[in-house]
């Protein structure tokens, strides 16, 4: 006989039946098993994501020492990197205060300031936001 269809079901309103408790326990265990690999996979994809410096709409512009996008040839500004920065590179440089791979201190700081100023809707923002969440 089904626990939920028993004559005492009306008297047990609000109290979970044994069957329902067992089902909830099984669902909870399955959730834990499936969430952990998903989180690991998400962390891996976040670290491999790209952050273009600057975004495609401002391609060819330079990055000033304070992270602003400026016209090419501006004194003290740096040409954009030859490729987008990887999330893992940005995470390491921000967490450890180190340089981005292949760049000197001043250029690394300018690029990182640019990345930290990214706004929602700008290419690379989602990657940077995800990297920030991993740092905590």
| Contacts made by residues 73-76, CB under 8 angstroms, sequence distance 24+ | none
pLDDT at 61 > cutoff 90 = yes
Q: Which helix (H) or strand (E) holds 69?
A: strand 69-70
pLDDT at 103 > cutoff 90 = yes
Q: Which helix (H) or strand (E) holds 28?
A: helix 18-47
The conformational region for residue 124 under phi > 0 = left, psi -120 to 50 = alpha, else beta, is left
Of 135, 133, 127, 93, the residue nearest 112 (C-alpha): 93
What are 66's two structure tokens? 């304070």
pLDDT higher for 80 or 7? 80
Please tell me whether the peptide bond between 4 and the residue prior to it is cis, using omega within 30 degrees of 0: no
pLDDT higher for 16 or 112? 112
Q: Are strands 62-63 and 69-70 parallel, antiparallel or unpaired?
A: antiparallel
**Distance between CA atoms of residues 66 and 44, nearest Å:** 30
Lowest mean pLDDT among 37-46, 60-69, 119-128: 37-46
- Please list, in sequence order, all residues whose beta carbon lies within 8 angstroms of the beta carbon of residue 56, skipping any fewer than 6 positions away: 123
Q: What's the pLDDT score for residue 84?
A: 93
Phi, psi torsion values for 51, nearest 5 degrees: -125, 105
Please state the rounded mean pLDDT for residues 115-119: 90
């Amino acid at each position: 006989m089904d626990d939920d269809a028993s004559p005492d079901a009306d008297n047990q309103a609000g109290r979970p039946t044994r069957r329902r408790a067992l089902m909830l326990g099984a669902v909870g265990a399955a959730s834990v098993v499936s969430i952990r690999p998903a989180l690991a996979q998400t962390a891996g994809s976040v670290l491999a994501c790209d952050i273009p410096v600057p975004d495609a709409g401002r391609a060819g512009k330079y990055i000033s020492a304070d992270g602003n996008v400026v016209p090419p040839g501006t004194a003290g500004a740096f040409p954009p990197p030859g490729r987008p920065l990887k999330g893992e590179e940005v995470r390491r440089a921000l967490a450890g205060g180190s340089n981005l791979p292949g760049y000197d201190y001043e250029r690394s700081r300018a690029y990182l300031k640019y990345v930290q100023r990214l706004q929602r809707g700008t290419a690379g923002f989602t990657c940077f936001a995800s990297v920030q969440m991993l740092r905590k």
